Amino acid sequence: MKKKKTIGLVAHDNRKKDIIEWASWNWKELAPHNLVCTGTTGKLIDEVIRLKCEENNSIPPHVTCLKSGPLGGDQQLGAMISEGGVDVLIFFWDPMQPQPHDVDVKALLRIAVLYNIPTASNRSTADFMISSSLFHEEYKPIIKDYSKYIKRDVDLV
């Protein structure tokens, strides 16, 4: 994980306001990094951080917008994590509202744990994460070897 990180940002509909407020408050910490967001969350975060950067004569971060979560954005983000393209995941999910793509959400969180990337699911954890000295440093996460869980081709014959 390089000093300049790629940060995944996701929020369910009932949590979009929260993640936008959080991103607006933490724009200085986010600006030096690359941001990858699902759907509407990405458009809203790009707008708020770009505005803050313009007001302060700062360079805005590069924001990549994926598809909306229910349309495959969670899966796109999970694929990026599995390929080493995302270093941190901040996912403000709504524990009180059933989601039509709950299996995708579960898969995304599983991949984040599998590849041992820092993951925040609420504002408090995101605050702790972004204020950590490790946030702006190089960091090498230890990836567990799961190869013993994978059946070999000879086992399948």
How many CA atoms lie within 13 Å of 47's alpha carbon, on the beta-carbon side? 8
Residuewise pLDDT in 10s, the chain (157 residues): 788 999 999 999 999 999 999 999 999 999 999 999 999 999 999 999 999 999 999 999 999 999 998 899 999 999 999 999 999 999 998 888 777 778 888 999 999 999 999 999 999 999 999 999 999 899 988 888 888 877 665 555 5
pLDDT at 103: 85
Q: Which among 46, 74, 87, 104 is annotated as catalytic? A: 74
41, part of any domain: yes
pTM of the model: 0.89
Find the domain containing 110 and state its range. Answer: 6-156
30, part of any domain: yes
1, part of any domain: no
Residues 48 and 18 sit within 8 Å (Cβ to Cβ): no
20, part of any domain: yes
Give the count of domains, the chain.
Answer: 1
72, part of any domain: yes
Task: Answer yes or no: 127 catalytic.
Answer: no
Query: To the nearest 10°, the Cα dihedral for 61, 69, 105, 114?
Result: -40
The greatest distance separating any two alpha carbons of the chain, rounded to the nearest whole angstrom, comes to 63
134, part of any domain: yes
93, part of any domain: yes
The Cα–Cα gap between 68 and 37 comes to 9
Residue whose token pair is 């770009």: 50
The Cα–Cα gap between 17 and 93 comes to 12
CATH of the domain at 53: 3.40.50.1380
